[in-house]
Structure 1
Amino acid sequence: MAVEVVMPKLGMSMKEGMVSVWNKSVGETVNKGESIASINSEKIEMEIESPVEGTILDIKVSEGEGVPPGTVICYIGEGNEQAKEKTERDVQSKPKKERKKISPVARKIANSANLDIDTLVGTGPGGRITKEDVLHALPEQTEKKQNEPAHPPVNMMRKTIASRMMESLQTSAQLTITMKADVTTLTKLQHELNVTAIERYDTKLTITDFVAKAAILSLLEHPAMNSQYQNDRVETFDDVHLGIAAALDNGLAVPVIRQAERLTLIELARKIKSYGKKAREGKLQHDEIKGSTFTMTNLGAYGVEYFTPILNPPEAGILGIGTMYETPVYQEDELCKGTFLPLSLTFDHRVLDGAPASAFLSTVTSFLEKPASILL
């Protein structure tokens, strides 16, 4: 009996998911647990694995098409088996146009070249599009694209990010302030601790880890920053659920470290690295990207010093980390080399004013300039 593979529901608020790419074609065999397609919804991109061993009998949702959760996207069964009749869900979903016959090799070449399969004419048996048909169409498409402006498609993740950023700017009173922290002592401590951290925990401590710990400790001292504005009221949280923005090839994800105040520095560092890896691999679960109370974002790797982070609604604050730089400084009467870290704090002026926001950022800076206080 053919098995239905459906669009999963990745959270209560999910209304639609999109098949970004099919890794298998109709007629191809699959093993249980093998990836058959990639889907994305909101800020999550993940692989769909085959629930059984068998053959792809029918693909119901084409690449780039968005459908509600629970919609059948394909059928898997025995090679000589027919996909069962459409379920009520299928009837309610959008009508599907007739699929073009195309060989798996031809489909892969066409997809790699972003060639619209519907524009191809098949010369194979029964009008099947062959590899030669695709190769013949490539020069013609290349010439056409050279004469047309590029209009790259916007995926669902990009749409969601754009929508949330616009909502953030339009519904909050955002102001950004900056400070620089003298991290000369911190960088020396970081190198010393890494010898033990790598040997004992197989984890390398980064400046981001120290800033995260400093921000958490500062939020406990300044709880007004660990809050959100919703429905004309301010809600302040006892626990720090820290969001760490992670850049992806096709967008941005913000995994959330829940109750971060309970973690030691090494535990926090391991969480940050683990969630960053899951974000890049598209393996974050829906409950791992929601519920943050404060967010951090780092553009230091790109050579940026100060910038204007946009609030992650409905949070009241987001801390931006810039790139460290060295500059001559006086220590008493002696000229020395100092290392400084630029910090940019965006806060919601509806929740708190400039003075308490500055006090919070000053506390973060103080922790970084006296790093022993982070460890005690």
Structure 2
Amino acid sequence: MATEFAMPKLGLTMESGTILQWLVPDGAEVRSGQAVLIVETDKVETEIEASGSGVLAQTGDVGEEYACGVRIGWFLEPGESPPEAATGPRQAPAQASTAPLSHTQPAAAAAPSAAPTRVPGERVLASPAAKRLARELGVELAVIAGTGPKGRITERDVRAALDASSAPALGEATPMATTAPDLSAAVSPPATLAARQLADLLGVDLRIVRASAADGRISRADVAVHVREVLARLSPPVEPARPAPPSAAPETKPAAADEAPPLAQTPTEEIPLRGMRGVIADRMSASLRSMAQLTLTMDVDMSAVVAERAALAEADRSDNGVGTADAAVPGYTDYVVAATAAALRAHPRINSQVTADAVALLGDIHVGLAVALDDGLLVPVIRHADRLSLSEIAAETKRLAGGAREGALGYDDFQGATFTVTALGMFGVDAFTPVINPPNTAILGVGRIRTETDWSGGNPAARPVLTLSLTWDHRAFDGAPAARFAGAVRDWLESR
């Protein structure tokens, strides 16, 4: 009996996953619990295990994004056919409440027989992968017929449209080249991995693509430029829009909420708002729209912490590999995390989440630690931080930060944060306005340790000072509780 294999929901915040790779071939016999594919979520790339046993019939396509709960395959008995095989195009499962974000059909069904008819200004439904490919190649999505659910355009539809109009020409030399390339050479020209992948996807011979880089290396952008040049030669001229009759009143429509303003100039590079970058953009915008966020700052005298760290470092050197030499000296952020966990235990209102009609106080204290990457930000979670010693927190932050940068953490490492700590002090920042990480009600920013002059004893004395920046949701609690919480963090650090 056929059993559906759906995109799993790995955590409360996971809404969809993109298939990066199937680890077993289509039609392979698998057993429950066996790793069968790699999925990219908004946070990590992770292996997905088979939820059943049998012959795996894959219906999910590599590079496409599917909502949690949507079918990506079937587990079949030997000799059994997928239930939808006799009905033609793939369909989203009837019991799934959410349609796939992008769902492709077999190649035979992907090529549209005619361009779709759309009302001017009508929103075009397309998967993120289809939009990205169309944008790179300069293809107008409005003239492509979608084969996904509800007419959604998939990446395969864009490729099919290219194949139908220009497949024979993509491998030909463009007439814009002044010299015909010598295709007899067996050696492929130097090219980036992304360029080779796009060329393989579209059937482009890299030997006829002109490199824009000084070292002659072909980039993905060079391949896209080549394809656009070929399409420009093959595309028929577009008829200008007919003006409305003089008697007709001009139609005015409000700008779409997600409509971007026109570019002020030609960009040197475009970074797609997808994957991690897209999730950060969506969630931070939603955070600011949905919460009444305010920020306060508070200085902390770090003399005690600096002295304690110096003593631990000296002990570490003296032990010559014994005792504390086996454990890293806690960093300043580790101290702040430990102080935050203690303060959250004393001020439970801060360890909360706003629901539709209440402020829910959360019993467990899980502190998220923002880790900066080259292309975004991840927030792994120190679970039950209030139960850990300072040295245990230091070891956990080292594991989480290193794993986040190396892509070695699991999905569970990012789940359940009730409060977040983010630091910019290593970049020379004194204070800043952190944005709350939903569904938390507060976030604590950590600045650099700087030297200030203390006059409290009558004589000037240098002291190390750190600024804490607390952003809180005014819906959940007011300024006085926020200030008392920040004061508790300060007191913990100053009383070491």
Q: Tell me the TM-score normalized by structure 1.
A: 0.74
Displacement after TM superposition at 1:274 (Å): 1.1
Helix, strand or coil for the counterpart of 1:310? coil
Contact conserved, 1:226 with 1:236, CA < 8 A, in 2? yes
Q: Which residue of 2 aligns with 1:173?
A: 292
Distance 1:306 1:210, change over 3 A: same
Distance 1:300 1:13, change over 3 A: closer
Displacement after TM superposition at 1:161 (Å): 1.7
Q: Does 1:111 align with 2:193?
A: yes
What do residues 242-300 of structure 1 show as CA deviations (whole Å, max 9, x unaligned)? 11111122222211222211111111111111111222222333332222211111111
Question: For residue 190 of structure 1, what is the amino acid of its counterpart?
Answer: R
> Highest relative contact order (Cα 8 Å, sep 6+), 1 or 2?
1
| Distance in 2 of aligned mates of 1:303 and 1:36 | 45
Match of 2:407 among 282, 292, 295: 282
Aligned length: 335
Displacement after TM superposition at 1:176 (Å): 0.2
Higher strand residue share: 1
- Say which is worse superposed, 191-200 or 87-96, in terms of deviation: 87-96
Q: What RMSD, in angstroms, separates the aligned Cα atoms of the two structures?
A: 4.2
Question: For residue 44 of structure 1, what is the amino acid of its counterpart?
Answer: V
Question: For residue 421 of structure 2, what is the amino acid of its counterpart?
Answer: M
| Distance in 1 of aligned mates of 2:441 and 2:490 | 19
Displacement after TM superposition at 1:9 (Å): 4.7
Q: Which residue of 1 aligns with 2:105?
A: 95
Q: Which residue of 2 aligns with 1:11?
A: 11
Larger radius of gyration: 2
What do residues 57-92 of structure 1 show as CA deviations (whole Å, max 9, x unaligned)? x997344x323567659xxxxxxxxxx977859933
Question: For residue 381 of structure 2, what is the amino acid of its counterpart?
Answer: V
Helix, strand or coil for the counterpart of 2:448? coil
- Say which is worse superposed, 136-145 or 11-20, in terms of deviation: 136-145
- Say which is worse superposed, 152-161 or 238-247, in terms of deviation: 152-161
Q: Does 1:163 align with 2:282?
A: yes
Structure 2, unmatched stretches of 5+, are 26-34, 50-57, 74-79, 92-102, 109-155, 160-166, 172-186, 213-220, 226-264
Which residues in structure 2 correspond to 1:1-376 (within 5 Å)? 9-11=9-11, 14-19=14-19, 39-46=39-46, 61-63=61-63, 65-68=64-67, 91-92=90-91, 93-95=103-105, 97=107, 109=191, 111-113=193-195, 116-117=198-199, 133-139=205-211, 142=222, 149=267, 150-196=269-315, 199-200=323-324, 201-330=326-455, 332-371=457-496
Helix, strand or coil for the counterpart of 2:386? helix
Displacement after TM superposition at 1:234 (Å): 1.1
What do residues 164-186 of structure 1 show as CA deviations (whole Å, max 9, x unaligned)? 21221111111100011111221
Displacement after TM superposition at 1:368 (Å): 1.3
Distance 1:260 1:202, change over 3 A: same
Contact conserved, 1:178 with 1:343, CA < 8 A, in 2? yes
Distance 1:97 1:321, change over 3 A: farther
Displacement after TM superposition at 1:7 (Å): 6.2
Distance 1:244 1:166, change over 3 A: same
What do residues 109-157 of structure 1 show as CA deviations (whole Å, max 9, x unaligned)? 45334873278655xxxxxxxxxx3143142654986x96332222222
Q: Tell me the TM-score normalized by structure 2.
A: 0.57
Contact conserved, 1:10 with 1:285, CA < 8 A, in 2? no
Q: Which residue of 2 aligns with 1:130?
A: none
Contact conserved, 2:448 with 2:467, CA < 8 A, in 1? yes
Distance 1:285 1:106, change over 3 A: farther
Contact conserved, 2:365 with 2:383, CA < 8 A, in 1? yes
| Distance in 2 of aligned mates of 1:114 and 1:365 | 54
Displacement after TM superposition at 1:334 (Å): 2.8
| Distance in 1 of aligned mates of 2:36 and 2:193 | 15
